[in-house]
Amino acid sequence: MKKFFRFSLVLIMALALFAPTASFAQETIRVGIILPISGGQASFGEIEKNSFDIAMEEINGSGGINGKKIEFLYEDDTGRPDVARSAAEKLINKDKVAMLGGGYGSSETMAIAGVAQQNRMPFLINTGSDDKITEKGWDFVFRLNPYASEYFKGLESFLTEVVKPQTCAILYENTNFGTSQSKAFATACERLGIKVVMTEGYEKGGVDFKPLLINVKKANPDLIYMISYLMDASLLMRQSMELQLNPKMFIGGGAGFTLPEFPDNAGKASEKVMSVTLWYQSLPYPGALDYFTKYKERFKKNTEYHGAEAYSAAYVIADVLKRAKSLSPDDIKEALLATDMKTCFGPVKFVKVGDKINQNVLPTYVMQWIDGKGELVWPKEGAGKPYVYPVNWQKEWK
Amino acid sequence: MQELIQALVAGVLMGGIYALIGIGMTLIMGVMKIINLAHGELMMVAMYITYVLAQYFGLDPYFSLLIAMPSLFIIGVLIQKYLLNPLLKVDSILPENQVLMTVGVGMVLTEVMRFIFQADFKSVKTSYSSTAFYLGTISFNLPMVVAFGIAVALTICLFYFLLKTDVGKSIRATAQNKEAALLMGINAEKITVMTYGLGASLAAASGTLLLPIYYLFPSIGGPFTLKAFVITMLGGMGSTVGAIVGGVVLGVAESLGATYIKMGLKDSVAMFIFLLVLIFLPGGLKRLTKV
């Protein structure tokens, strides 16, 4: 009996392994999308996957790719580069996808990009923003989003015209994204005449950031710039509130600071905090507001720049596959190079910028959490609401 | 000066919770002579119990202590009785294999929780999560202080239990000399089961106390198992007083390290102390205090 049970178990497992590959018919064009669907970065993965899903339905609803349907195969990188790497290998070798998309965390994106280049597989990045990714000369890797050192371009004029800080402290999570952006921000500060009094990295996932924040309090900078993922961003702000830090402004470097979950987790500590952002629904891009309302209706939740990146990446992928002469990697690559389209995330065109190749260039913006809502506040022309400055933190945190 | 005091306060408060984790492991170490490498994972299970109670039944995390601790006691008893003790009966298996079994138990617990709750981060939001009060300019995080208070109270109860009750005395007797305890008519198997349950419920308490401050995901256990291990070594294996001191020392060392050296090197400070203890004080603090 026991033997029979064991035998049938092995049989079932073997069947489970082979079944899915056997049942697919080649009526669809498959594109592999690698996102952090579980793990610490899951909130970002969720918003992006939802957006990919909306786009996929719309594309297929309006005729698909030259009559064929497009299908996004999702793989979970769990927020770890090694998993991302094997996910990419699986999609390329086992699922035989036409091209790759996705890529959230910079470290994971770097791993995927490496695999893609080795296998000569076109890869369109929509979020991973470490500068180095497009500096390696990898001609099969394209990036839709601005790179990390561009994130705060829109912030610079806000700093020089409004806040005019003398000193600044930079706190960053010490993987690719944080390190890359913090270095660039420190250089920018020097250029703008802001003295960087403290730059410190931390391991993401800490319980107690107070030791770090005590040092910030001692340095008493005018500006605190933080580059963090979601949970760290919330804890940093909550503990800043506890320690009664009093800078002129708290500014986040995108990522954790723009997600709708940020005010949920940080509570009133999130109020009036600013962040750089790459997109806002009120921007004059075709379909931007449309996408925002669709997302909100369907998922009963707000979306922000990560979602918009994913949504427009899906459209770029569809556009590229439509234009490509064949589905061979080289033809897809050629089609990617020739991309020139307007998406809800902004115009997309892959160009060479400095050392970077296949890089899209877009302006960036500043947003602020006002009464629990993320509002675009800078530049003034596109702003939905006037910025709140100066802020009396003691009053906000009562 | 101010930041030194603030760092000390943060360290001592964190140390209280560490001590609670450490005591559980050290108890198990003392009686069974094995390192319970599933300790952090047991703590994680308790955190999920607390999370579910808070999320779906609206129970306050501190109240869930009354549910999480007994539940983990039962889980601990079952693990010891049906998974660890049977290994002792097979002569061909070395007793060290119990340690390997705890590693397995830890992995299974993590994966089961990952299966049920996904790998997402969960947090319990309470009205007092980021409340703080101030003495002068030094801030005290309210849930941290409450956690510290409860940790101290639980430790006092534990000492009372170990020193004054029959079962407690039997646990100490078994820890000191198992053969002699057996000769005196103590049912050693029952005592090991009790001890593991007790250790698990102490881990449960620390997890529950940590939840309002921190957040939760399935693989949270590993780092805390490591911390408990360092504390157990620091305190001298099997010494409860040592574990308390060890916990506080670890908390303060981490906090000072993060303040004066570098936040990113916080965990290295703990490991550095661990190495120093192994090299210069192999018996841990127990060698100094003899308790």
DSSP code of residue B122: B
* Rounded-to-integer distance, Cα B181 and Cα B159, Å: 20
Q: Whole-angstrom Cα distance, residue B230 to residue B244?
A: 12
Looking at residue B263, its pLDDT comes to: 80
Q: Are residues A35 and A134 in the same domain?
A: yes
Query: Is A331's pLDDT higher than 70?
Result: yes
Per-residue pLDDT, averaged over B214-231, amounts to 89
Average pLDDT over residues A111-125: 95
Higher pLDDT, A331 or A231: A331
- A26, pLDDT greater than 60: no
Q: Is residue A161 within 8 Å of A378, Cβ to Cβ? A: no
Q: Is residue A12 part of a domain?
A: no
Flag whether A6 is in a domain. Answer: no
Q: Which of A25-29, A321-325, B2-6 has the lowest mean pLDDT?
A: A25-29
Buried/exposed A6-44: b ≥16 CB within 10 Å, e otherwise: eeeeeeeeeeeeeeeeeeeeeebbbbbbbbbbbbbbbbb
Q: To which residue do tokens 């690719």 refer? A: A176
Q: Say yes or no for a CB contact (<8 Å) between A40 and B217.
A: yes
| For residues B132-145, average pLDDT | 85
pLDDT 10s digits, A246-287: 999 999 998 889 988 898 888 889 999 999 999 998 888 989
Chain B interface, best mutation among A208, A213, A244, A270, by max B CB count within 10 A: A208
% residues pLDDT > 70 (chain B): 97
HEC assignment per residue over A142-165:
EECCCCHHHCCHHHHHHHHHHHCC
pLDDT at A20: 47
Query: What average pLDDT does range B19-41 have in this prediction?
Result: 91
Asked if omega into A263 is within 30° of 0 (cis), the reply is no
CB A41 within 8 A of CB A79: yes
Task: Give the pLDDT of residue B271.
Answer: 85
Q: Identity (one letter) of the amino acid at A279?
A: W
Of A71-75, B218-222, B261-265, the range with the lowest mean pLDDT is: B261-265
- Is A78 within 8 Å of B118 when comparing Cβ atoms? no
pLDDT at res. B93: 63
Per the domain annotation, does A19 fall within a domain? no
Number of domains chain A contains:
2
Report pLDDT for A23: 42
Per-residue tokens: A129: 């923003």
Q: What is the pLDDT of residue B87?
A: 83
Structure tokens at A220: 């008493």
Given an 8 Å threshold on Cβ–Cβ distance, is A42 in contact with B10? Answer: no
pLDDT grade for A24, boundaries at 50, 70 and 90: very low
Does A133 map to a domain?
Answer: yes
Contact across the interface for A211 and B14, Cβ inside 8 Å = no
pLDDT value for A2: 59
Q: Lowest-confidence range among A39-43, A84-88, B53-57?
A: A39-43
Nearest CA in chain B to A44: B120
| Secondary structure of residue A238 in the 3-state scheme | helix
Is residue A219 located within the same domain as residue A293? no
Q: What pLDDT, on the 0 to 100 scale, is given for residue A83?
A: 93
CB contact at 8 A, A298 and A46: no
CATH number at B13 reads 1.10.3470
Look at A32-46, A104-118, A330-344 and tell me which has the smallest mean pLDDT.
A32-46
- Looking at residue A182, its pLDDT comes to 93
Structural domain count, chain B: 1
Q: Which of A307, A325, A321, A204 is nearest to A259 (CA)?
A: A307
Q: Which residues of B touch A (CB under 8 A)?
A: 2-3, 6-7, 10, 14, 114, 118-121, 123, 125, 129-130, 132, 134, 139, 141, 210, 213-215, 217, 255-259, 262-264, 266-267
Kindly list the residues from chain A whose CB atom is less than 8 angstroms away from the CB atom of residue B129.
238, 267
Residue of B nearest to A41 (CA): B120
Cβ pair B3:A38 closer than 8 A: no
Helices (H) and strands (E) in chain A, counts: 13, 16
Q: Which residue has the tokens 């250089």?
A: A187
Return the sign of the alpha-carbon dihedral for residues A89, A90, A91, A94: positive
Q: Cα distance from A213 to chain B (closest Cα, Å)?
A: 9
Q: Residue A3: what pLDDT?
A: 61
Position A17 pLDDT exceeds 60: no
Whether B214 sits inside 8 A of A244 (CB atoms) is no
A380 and A267 fall within a common domain: yes
Q: Could you tell me the pLDDT band of residue A21, with boundaries at 50, 70 and 90? A: very low
Contacts of A42 in chain B (CB under 8 A): 118-121
Q: Which residues pair with A367 in a beta bridge?
A: A275, A376
Contact A211 B10 (CB under 8 A): yes
CA distance B196 to B200: 6
Q: Is A97 helix (H, G, I), strand (E, B) or coil?
A: coil
CA distance A56 to chain B (A): 25
Cβ of A242 and B132 within 8 Å? yes
Element holding A370 (H helix, E strand): strand A365-370
CA distance B119 to A206: 17
Q: Is A242 found in the same domain as A160?
A: yes
Instruction: Tell me the three-class secondary structure of B190-240, residue by residue.
Output: HHHHHHHHHHHHHHHHHHHHHCCCCCECHHHHHHHHHHHHHHHHHHCCCCH
**CATH, residue A172:** 3.40.50.2300
Task: State the Cα–Cα distance between residues A192 and A166, nearest whole angstrom.
Answer: 10
Please give the pLDDT value at position A8: 62
The whole-number pLDDT of residue B274 equals 83
Mark out chain A residues that contact chain B at CB-CB < 8 A: 38-40, 42-43, 78, 174, 200-203, 206-212, 214-215, 217-218, 230-231, 238-239, 241-244, 264-265, 267, 269
- Note whether A382 and A250 are same-domain residues: yes
Statement: residue B48 has pLDDT above 90: yes
Q: Measured between beta carbons, which residues in chain B are less than 8 angstroms from residue A215?
A: 3, 259
Neighboring chain A residues of B256 at a CB cutoff of 8 Å: 211
* Amino acid A359: pLDDT: 94
Please list every residue in chain B whose beta carbon sits closer than 8 Å to the beta carbon of residue A199.
none
- Per DSSP, B267 falls in state H
Q: Which two tokens mark A166?
A: 């003398």
Is residue A99 in a domain?
yes
Residue B160 has pLDDT above 90, yes or no: yes
Q: Is the pLDDT of residue A34 over 70?
A: yes
Among A363-367, B61-65, B130-134, the minimum mean pLDDT is found in: B130-134
User: Across all residues in chain B, what is the average pLDDT?
Assistant: 88
| Helix, strand, coil share (%) of chain B residues, nearest 5 | 75, 5, 20
Q: What pLDDT score does A25 carry?
A: 46
CB contact under 8 A, B121 and A230: yes
In a domain, A102, yes or no: yes
Supply the range of the domain harboring residue B224.
Answer: 2-289
Which residues in chain A have their CB less than 8 angstroms from residue B257's CB? 211
**When comparing pLDDT for B132 and B28, which is higher?**
B28
CB distance A211–B139 less than 8 Å? no
Q: What does the pLDDT read at residue B289?
A: 63
pLDDT value for B269: 84
Task: Work out the average pLDDT over A181-188.
Answer: 93
Cα separation, A72 vs A58, whole angstroms: 13
Q: Is residue A230 pLDDT above 90, yes or no?
A: no
A168 with A182, same domain: the answer is yes
Residue A56, token pair as written in the block: 């996929």
* The predicted structure's pLDDT at residue B258: 86
A25-39, A98-112, A150-164: which has the minimum mean pLDDT? A25-39
Residue A166 sits in which domain range? 152-277+364-396
Per CB-CB distance under 8 Å, the chain B contacts of A216 are: none
Q: How many whole angstroms separate alpha carbon B18 and alpha carbon A398?
A: 31
For B180-200, the pLDDT digits (tens) are 988 988 888 899 999 999 999
- Beta sheet of A274-277, edge-to-edge order: A195-202, A167-173, A223-227, A249-252, A274-277, A365-370, A373-378
Confidence category of residue A63, pLDDT binned at 50, 70, 90: confident
Run of H or E residues at B171: helix B166-176
